[in-house]
Structure 1
Amino acid sequence: MRIALRLMLGFFLVLGLALFVVLRVFLGEVEPGTRLAMEDSLVDAAYAYAQLAEPDMKAGVIASGGFAQAMVAYRKAKPGAVLWGFRKDQVDTRITITDAQGRVVFDTSGVAVGQDHSRWNDVFKTLRGEYGARSSVEDPQDPNSTVMHVAAPIRDGERIIGVLTVSRPNQLLDPYIERSRQRILLWSWGLLGVSLLMGLLFSWWMASSLSRLRSYANAVAEGERAELPRMGQLSGHTEFHDLAQAVERMRLKLEDKAYVESYVHTLTHELKSPLAAIRGASELLQEPMAEADQRRFAGHIQRQTERLQHLIDKLLGLADVEQMRRLTVHDPVDLGALTQELVQAAEARLRLKGLTARLDVGADVVVSGDRFLMQQALQNLLDNAIEFSPNGGELVVTVGLDAAGGFVVWSVLDQGPGVPDYAIHRIFERFYSLPRGDHQDKSSGLGLCLVKEVAELHGGTVSVHNAEAADGCVASVHWPLGT
């Protein structure tokens, strides 16, 4: 399972669990909280009405006095209020008054007058001097017809002479409770959506950062020219940025160590042959010999010295290119003009072998890159073609766009023996070379390696294969137009 999916699932589980718990507690507290608020308001109302009813209760005219008349008129009021979008056009509060024995002596609805309420908690507890309240079903056939009753004592001095009860149906609160629940759910779903979006973005950021680091590490492991990914554009210098820098420092140290070890090993191996030849010739020169032999051995030492110098120069040039992670120069380079310069510079060598060079340069052959490096690479390919060509042969140098139009293809065709099958997959290896004709010494084996490095540095490719229609070999480099 990918880490992005793991992060997302983990985030979703934690968020979902937290939201579930909060919603469960919140929604569970909406109804009790609303009913407690209503009970609190009924307590205040009951004690206020009890104070107003006290004079008529003492005078024995509670059923017909001024309080009773006011309450009957109060029940007929039309508030016309709009509460949270719900219209209220009537008064739903009911007031009942019982005497000291718990018998109803006044009821704003006129239904319970004369009934015995002494056993109801609101009346029973209030007559005993305690807080009296109850919530009971009004209609036994309807379990939702509960009514909240809150009572207050009517006193004559310290003596309780009656109980006033204020009651309201609980169903009146249902629209407000449901509205609160819907709003809570709506905001919760909105919060969940925003949180999930943030979780997606966070997971994407984490996964993309790790993916870029992984791709970079894999590319380095494959020996590719990988550029250190930029980390922290969205959030500044984070741990990912520090990790990327640490990986880069580790890569450089390991790569430098391996690079030095490889070069020391290969260079030591390649230097053995010319050094042995120089040592042997110098030892022979210390002995008496004919002047002609002296000149021959001295010339041999000179040739081996030149070979060593050529090898060292090639190694230094290749090392510079291999250590470059990316191009620092992006100049327009006309490959057609560059090719003509190279062919003109090689004119003397071409004449020595009786070779002719035919150029086929197309239009729009300008690319972007490092002209010096490109010149070195193409010079190596041209030198190889000249060295492997038979005397009196022909070279064909072609420069033009490929069929897809995304690359400029530079190629040189010689009429030499071609590349043996056993060597076709090794010619780009460092220090691997094939014997030249006419008793020539082997080359350094670094030329094609340099060509490959320069081509890849420019985002291109190089290939060498035998010609299909005739003898010879074709070396080609694809230079991208968008480099």
Structure 2
Amino acid sequence: MRIGLRILLGYFLILGLAAWFVLNVFVMEVRPGVRATLEDTLIDTAQLLARLVAEDVKQGDLAHAPLLKRLENYAQRSIDVKLSGVQKVKSQLDYRIYITDAQGIVIFDSDNKDLGKDYSRWNDVYLTLRGQYGARSTRANPDDEDSTVMHVAAPIMDNNNDGKPRRLLGVLTVAKPISTIKPFIERSQKKILQRSFWALLVSLLIGIGFSWWLSRSLKRLQDYAKAVSVDAKTSLPKLGNNEIGELGLALESMRAKLEGKEYVETLMHTLTHELKSPIAAIQGSAELLKEDMPEAERQRFLSNIIEQNQRQRNLIDRLLQLVRLEKQQRLEQVEPIDLAQLLKEVLEDCQVALDRKHIQTHLVLPESNVQLAGDHLLLRQALGNLFDNAIAFSPPQSSITVSAVREEQQLCLRIDDQGTGIPDYALDKLFERFYSLPRPDSDKSTGLGLPFVKEVASLHGGSVHLMNRANDGVDLLGVRAEMRLPLPH
């Protein structure tokens, strides 16, 4: 499983557990909280009414008490009120008020249902008569939880206006159905769930975005490390100013140090090997010049010294050019290049060598103009090296064909000569540094031309191959150099 997916799953698991815990606490606390608010309201109401009716209860003539008449009329009143925040219209008053005497017998009931009944065993009356806080919740229908009614009682005390000690006259209970607050509980729970859902969704999107960013950065760093491991042309991607970016910079620094050390060791070894031959030739000719010899012999040895010295200079110059190219990870300058103009310039550069061997050239280009993107000078030098090879191995009065073919998003450039072909043992070594085959009419080359071409093609995101051209699968008929370059989008 990818690390980004692991992080996302772990993040979502932690987030889900935290959300479940928080939601569970919130939702479970809503109902008790609202009920506690209702109970607090009932307490205040009961205490207030108990104080107001105390004198009437003391007189004992409740049937003609003006306040109790108003309370009875209150219970029968109808209203039409739209409650804010809930889809409900309040059409009736929900309070029920009843009063018991000091023995718990109901002496007033706003609903006129239970006058004369003994309520002394109900908790609200029982506890209040004993000086404690009296309250109870009782189901009107034992099988229906939503029929629960909350009762809160307050003691009715003698106001002591006659100077006698205060005494308990009775109990006033205010009752209200729990179902009246159910819409508010459901509304609160619904809002909590809705907003929690959106918060969870936003958190999930943030987690997905973070996981995508982390996976993308790690994937780019992984691709870079893989490319480095196979010595591919690549540069460190932009990873940002963070720990991953610092890791990429550390990897780039380590790569530079390791590659630099290995590169210098290999370069010095191969350069020393290649310079042994011209140095030995120069030393031998110089030692012979110390002796007396005819002037013609002396001039021949002097010419050999000059020729070998020039060979060393060419070798070093070409090697330095290749070194710069091999250390370059990307093109420093990219410009539009007209293919026809580029090939024309390459042919002009090689015209003297073509004329010397009376070689004809044939150019086959696509009907529409082809534009490349890259470094004009590097491509000109690379194609020039391929032409030099084709000319060097072509017999006099032969021909070289240059063709360009579009293949999807690539341009395939082919240079076909009519030379003797490449020996089988050399096919896999052609792009090795300093490796070269003897030319029909000249000495070996530096062996750095084809490695240079390969580096140029790689920098442009392309490739180069050399192969023998077969005639009916039997007779070899020259060599094909094929360079593939990406076309700009």
TM-score by length of 1: 0.92
* Counterpart residue identity of residue 220, structure 1: V
Structure 2 residue 474 is the aligned partner of structure 1 residue 471: no
Alignment of 1:36-51 (within 5 A): 36-51=36-51
Q: For the Cα contact (< 8 Å) 1:96–1:164, is it kept in 2?
A: yes
Using the alignment, how far apart are the partners of 2:222 and 2:348 within structure 1? 48
Alignment of 1:346-365 (within 5 A): 346-363=350-367, 364-365=369-370
Using the alignment, how far apart are the partners of 1:403 and 1:15 within structure 2? 51
Residues 180 and 260 of structure 1, relative CA distance in 2, 3 Å threshold = same
Residues 217 and 46 of structure 1, relative CA distance in 2, 3 Å threshold = same
**Residue of structure 1 aligned with 2:206, choices 176, 182, 198:** 198
Residues 190 and 335 of structure 1, relative CA distance in 2, 3 Å threshold = closer
Task: Give, in angstroms, the shift of residue 285 of structure 1.
Answer: 3.1
Q: For the Cα contact (< 8 Å) 1:365–1:399, is it kept in 2?
A: no
Q: Which runs of 5+ in 2 are unaligned?
A: 161-165
Residues 340 and 85 of structure 1, relative CA distance in 2, 3 Å threshold = closer
Q: For the Cα contact (< 8 Å) 1:419–1:473, is it kept in 2?
A: yes
Structure 2 residue 220 is the aligned partner of structure 1 residue 215: no
Residues 175 and 344 of structure 1, relative CA distance in 2, 3 Å threshold = closer
Q: For the Cα contact (< 8 Å) 1:329–1:369, is it kept in 2?
A: yes
Alignment of 1:329-478 (within 5 A): 329-363=333-367, 364-390=369-395, 392-404=396-408, 406-438=409-441, 440-469=442-471, 471-478=477-484
Aligned to 1:271: 275
Residues 279 and 20 of structure 1, relative CA distance in 2, 3 Å threshold = same
Alignment of 1:248-259 (within 5 A): 248-259=252-263
Residues 394 and 126 of structure 1, relative CA distance in 2, 3 Å threshold = same
Task: Give, in angstroms, the shift of residue 292 of structure 1.
Answer: 4.3
Instruction: Please give the per-residue CA displacement for 1:51-97, whole angstroms capped at 9, x wherever unaligned.
Output: 22112111111244112211111001123122222111111111111
Using the alignment, how far apart are the partners of 1:89 and 1:43 within structure 2? 24
Structure 2 residue 315 is the aligned partner of structure 1 residue 311: yes
How many pairs does the alignment contain? Answer: 476
Residues 160 and 211 of structure 1, relative CA distance in 2, 3 Å threshold = same
* Counterpart residue identity of residue 19, structure 1: A
Residues 430 and 39 of structure 1, relative CA distance in 2, 3 Å threshold = same
Using the alignment, how far apart are the partners of 2:89 and 2:345 within structure 1? 95
Residues 148 and 358 of structure 1, relative CA distance in 2, 3 Å threshold = closer
Q: For the Cα contact (< 8 Å) 2:361–2:402, is it kept in 1?
A: no
* Counterpart residue identity of residue 196, structure 1: L
SS at match of 1:165: strand
Aligned to 2:116: 114
Q: For the Cα contact (< 8 Å) 1:388–1:417, is it kept in 2?
A: yes
Task: Give, in angstroms, the shift of residue 289 of structure 1.
Answer: 4.3
* Counterpart residue identity of residue 126, structure 1: T
Structure 2 residue 145 is the aligned partner of structure 1 residue 139: no
TM-score by length of 2: 0.91
Q: For the Cα contact (< 8 Å) 1:134–1:149, is it kept in 2?
A: yes
Using the alignment, how far apart are the partners of 1:365 and 1:151 within structure 2? 98
* Counterpart residue identity of residue 427, structure 2: I
Q: For the Cα contact (< 8 Å) 1:53–1:62, is it kept in 2?
A: no
Deviates more, 1:47-56 or 1:330-339: 330-339
Using the alignment, how far apart are the partners of 1:172 and 1:362 within structure 2? 86
Residues 274 and 36 of structure 1, relative CA distance in 2, 3 Å threshold = same
SS at match of 1:80: strand
Aligned Cα RMSD in Å? 2.1
Deviates more, 1:407-416 or 1:186-195: 407-416
SS at match of 1:116: coil
Percent identity reads: 48
Residues 37 and 219 of structure 1, relative CA distance in 2, 3 Å threshold = same
Q: For the Cα contact (< 8 Å) 2:315–2:446, is it kept in 1?
A: yes
Using the alignment, how far apart are the partners of 2:444 and 2:236 within structure 1? 39
SS at match of 1:89: strand
Aligned to 2:167: 159
Q: For the Cα contact (< 8 Å) 2:400–2:418, is it kept in 1?
A: no
Using the alignment, how far apart are the partners of 2:363 and 2:184 within structure 1? 91
